[in-house]
Amino acid sequence: MPKTLERDLGLPAVLAISIGAMVGSGIFILPALAVEIAGPAVILAYLVAGVLVVPAALAKAEMATAMPEAGGTYLFIERGMGPLLGTVAGIGTWFALSFKGALALVGGVPYLLLLFDVSPGVTTQVALALAALLVVVNVFGAKQTGRLQVAIVVVMLAALVWFVVGGTPSVRQPNYAPFFGGGAGGLLAATGLVFVSYAGVTKVASVAEEVADPDRNIPLGILGSLAFTTVLYVLIVAVMVGVTEPTRIAESATPMAVAAGATLGTPGVVAVVLAAILALVSTANAGILSSSRYPFAMARDDLVPDSMASVSGRFGTPSNSITLTGVVLLVLIAFVPLLEIAKLASAFQILIFVLINVALVAFREGNAEYDPAFTAPLYPWLQVVGVLSGLVLLTQMGLVPFVGAVALIAVGVAWFLLYGRRRVDREGVAVDAVRRQVGRSAVDRTQQALDGWDSGYRVLVALDHAVSKDEERSFVRIASDIARTHDGEVAVVRFEQVPDQVPLTYASETETPADVRFDEQTSELDCEFDVPVKSGTIVCHDVRHAAVNYAAHESVDLLLTEETATPAGLRGRLFGSDVDWVRRHAPCDVALLHAEPGGLDDVDVVGVLSDEGPYDPAKVAIADAIATSAAGSIAFRYVNREDESVVAKRTLRDYHGDVAELCSAPVSSHAPFTDGGTATHPESEPTAPDLLVVSAAERGNDGIASYLATANRPVLVVHPEDAQRRGRIAQMLERWVF
């Protein structure tokens, strides 16, 4: 059996990992930048940011109890939104956490320099040494990491609590005025900047596979650490601003030490410096621990090389993944200016939190197996707030962070397209949720189409040239079957076009042999069908306009004519065929019949075809009328869909079942509903259809065209009235998700 990770992280370790991941650069480095943007309102910015994290924290807590596996954010987004966005989330979050870890180490060195008389030139070297040490500790095991994290957090929190308690008596009210000096824009910008301070609240989900009793410890760890850290942040920043002028904080690289020196003296500075060093080291430590699990989880899903999924037999940790993360961390410390990169990582973190909220909606609304032990309250309103607030914050962070986040997304997309796409065939729960919604909408439209057929349905058979009796019989048979189920009637009209120079009155008074033959064979056909059939010839200068005008004058419901080829060359590309013009201008549905030379025999099975989208409602309604009238059946066919996922097959099966319940005729489905797939070539079908019905919009699609060429069956091409047809964008979206 494959190796798994040992579950040895209890609630104290979970709380320590989460708090340690948050209490770091967010409070020891960022206040200097945030105060410059928002002034004293930075206090409110930390509170607002903590509140806006709640939707994503609750969503992640729920999904972590349903999927307690390594990978966290990547896993949830990959399962919910699909491997493409999962790759973006995995790679992007991996880099974002690495960026933040590197920033924490470099940001901690200035605090260290306050204790020792060393040259600032050793900052990078010290940060590299600390990074290497933490990588080694993580390779040794999560238990050692968790214990180290607990010790670090306890010492760090003790110093911070002393700072709050000891500094409160020295707070001066004038330092808070004017509170909203930066205005609403400054408050939002500062909120977006400090938002990353809370990113660590959900890091514990990335080590969920190593958490003991995850159903209890993960939600308690996430929510408890968020509440505690939010209160702590607000109190610390309130004291910091209250005891020190905002300008001094904004100008300092060690704002906490400046505030401690103003109220607690040298002992307070030493305590805060130690806390800062421990906090920033713990941030980097938690970053290595959690970020290394992203390539580990992605490798198990075949989105990165398998070597990233190997678990050390000696230490029980994903050593290769940790080592790679460590290398990235060292490279960032050595060569990259991390402050701007951290801002970019903040923007991307907000995007990730937005996707987390959307992923929860996908799981709740989708059809996948999803059974969380903890459920987020106030669904879906909290998720809506989380998405909208995240997008608002992104607009306040400036162009560079937004562009950087887009670049990270592009890297993830490129990696998936070049490496992952050919290795995975999964799809996200969100895709199936949208597919089911599209299916429900299509079923509702089909119901409306079937209910909309009034009694007295009128079908016009429009012929523009002499046809044989067998050919005309095919048209009248189809028209009669459609009209019969709704107590309708059929009009068979031959439109005779004469040159413009010939007066229509003169042409109509001259009876030709073709007129006589048409009247005789139509009268004979009238006796074969128990539907009123009237016939006649209309002389005109333009067949297209005459047919459309007749359909409008007689309130025709369906215009049935012969399918003709589009003229070759430039004329065909610019203007199409006469039938194309009729389809666009007819005041009713249009159906084009392509019958075999021998005509159309009895119709026992009507095959309704589609390839990517749901069945057109008009197509289903016409097929049902024909099959019902002929005492036959309908066979729904999806072509070229053998490689569907199991989830997609289940959704398609349910959709076919819903459509079948609406039809009056018996229905069978021949689609890829089994795990092994079902061939959809005509010769492999149990009962070959006598008539194939397709939509005009998909008639030329490769899959449909190939099927029709192989089938050698009469084809009825249905074109709904323009007012009833879906827009191009809606059709494209339906075909893409369905």
Identify the band that residue 421 occupies on the pLDDT scale cut at 50, 70 and 90.
confident
Please check whether residues 391 and 539 belong to one and the same domain: no
The pLDDT of residue 339 = 59
- How does pLDDT run across 167-183, given as a tens digit for each residue? 888 888 888 888 887 78
Q: Which of 535, 562, 592 is the last residue of a domain?
A: 592
Residues 640 and 679 in one domain: yes
- Exposure string (b/e) for 262-285, b if CB count within 10 Å is 16 or more? bbbeeebbbbbbbbbbbbbbbbbb
Q: Using one digit for the tens of pLDDT, what is the confidence trace for 427-443?
A: 777 777 777 888 888 88
Asked if the model's pLDDT at residue 314 lies above 70, the reply is no
Q: Which residue has the higher pLDDT, 17 or 689?
A: 689
Residue 531 domain-assigned?
yes
541 has pLDDT over 90: no
The reply to whether 17 falls in a domain is no
Instruction: Report the pLDDT value the prediction gives residue 599, as an integer from 0 to 100.
Output: 63
Contact between residue 664 and residue 582 where contact means Cβ atoms under 8 Å apart: no
CA dihedral (338, 340, 343, 348) positive or negative: negative
| Cα distance between residue 278 and residue 23, in whole Å | 10
Domain identity same for 340 and 194: yes
- Is the separation of the CB atoms in 218 and 148 below 8 Å? no
Q: Is residue 12 part of a domain?
A: no
Q: For residue 679, is pLDDT > 50?
A: no
Statement to judge: residues 180 and 31 lie in one domain:
yes
Residues 358 and 497 in one domain: no
Q: Please check the confidence at residue 598 and state whether its pLDDT lies above 70.
A: no
Q: How far apart are CA 104 and CA 127, in angstroms?
A: 9
Which tens digits make up the pLDDT trace of 441-498? 888 888 888 887 777 888 898 887 777 777 788 888 888 888 888 788 888 888 887 7
Which residues, other chains included, contact 4 with Cβ-Cβ below 8 Å and sequence gap of 6+? 209, 311
Final residue of a structural domain among 557, 592, 627: 592
CATH code for the domain in which residue 351 is found: 1.20.1740.10
Residue 18 lies in a domain: no
Residue 165 in domain: yes
Annotate 596-632 with DSSP letters as a single string.
Answer: -TT-----SEEEEEESSSPPPHHHHHHHHHHHHHTT-
Q: What are the residues facing 610 on neighbouring strands?
A: 638
pLDDT in tens, 502-540: 777 666 666 777 777 777 777 777 677 777 888 888 888
Does residue 15 form part of some domain?
no
Q: Are 77 and 85 in contact (CB under 8 A)?
A: yes
> Which tokens is 280 given?
């920033």
Most confident of the following: 209-223, 288-302, 613-627: 613-627
Q: State the pLDDT at residue 736.
A: 67
Is the pLDDT score of 338 beyond 60? no
User: Are 149 and 53 in a shared domain?
Assistant: yes
H or E element at residue 546: helix 543-553
What mean pLDDT is predicted for residues 373-388?
Answer: 88
pLDDT band at 570 (very low <50, low <70, confident <90, very high): very low
Residue 181 belongs to domain spanning: 24-426
Mean pLDDT of the chain: 77
Question: Are residue 586 and residue 610 in the same domain, yes or no?
Answer: no
Give the per-residue pLDDT at 729. Answer: 66
Length of the chain in residues, anyone? Answer: 738
Instruction: Tell me, yes or no, whether 500 lies in a domain.
Output: yes
Q: What percent of the chain has pLDDT over 90?
A: 3
Q: Same domain, yes or no, for 422 and 485? A: no
Average pLDDT rounded to a whole number, residues 588-593: 88
- pLDDT band at residue 681, thresholds of 50, 70 and 90? very low
How would you list the strands of the sheet with 633-638, edge to edge? 533-540, 489-497, 458-463, 558-562, 589-594, 715-719, 691-695, 605-610, 633-638, 667-670
| Contact indicator for 636, 669 with CB cutoff of 8 Å | yes
Domain stop point among 542, 558, 592: 592
Looking at the fold, whether 579 and 606 belong to one and the same domain comes out as no
Look at residues 12, 45, 54 and name the one whose alpha carbon lies nearest to residue 26: 45
The answer on 607 and 587 residing in a single domain is no
pLDDT for 567 equals 52
Q: Are residues 732 and 705 in the same domain?
A: yes
Average pLDDT (361-380) is: 80
Average pLDDT over residues 377-403: 85
Residues 103-134: tens digit of each pLDDT: 777 777 778 777 776 666 777 787 788 778 77
pLDDT tens figures, 224-277:
888 888 998 999 999 988 888 878 887 777 788 888 888 888 888 888 888 888
The number of domains in the chain is: 3
CATH for 536: 3.40.50.620
Residues 219 and 270 reside in one and the same domain = yes
- Write down the pLDDT at residue 438: 81
Q: Is residue 5 part of a domain?
A: no
pLDDT digits (tens, 9 = 90+) for 18-39: 776 677 667 887 888 788 888 8
Q: pLDDT tens digits, residue range 658-671?
A: 888 888 888 876 55
Confidence of residue 724 (pLDDT cuts 50, 70, 90): low
Write the CB contacts of 382 (distance below 8 Å, at least 6 apart in sequence): 54, 55, 58, 59, 357, 376
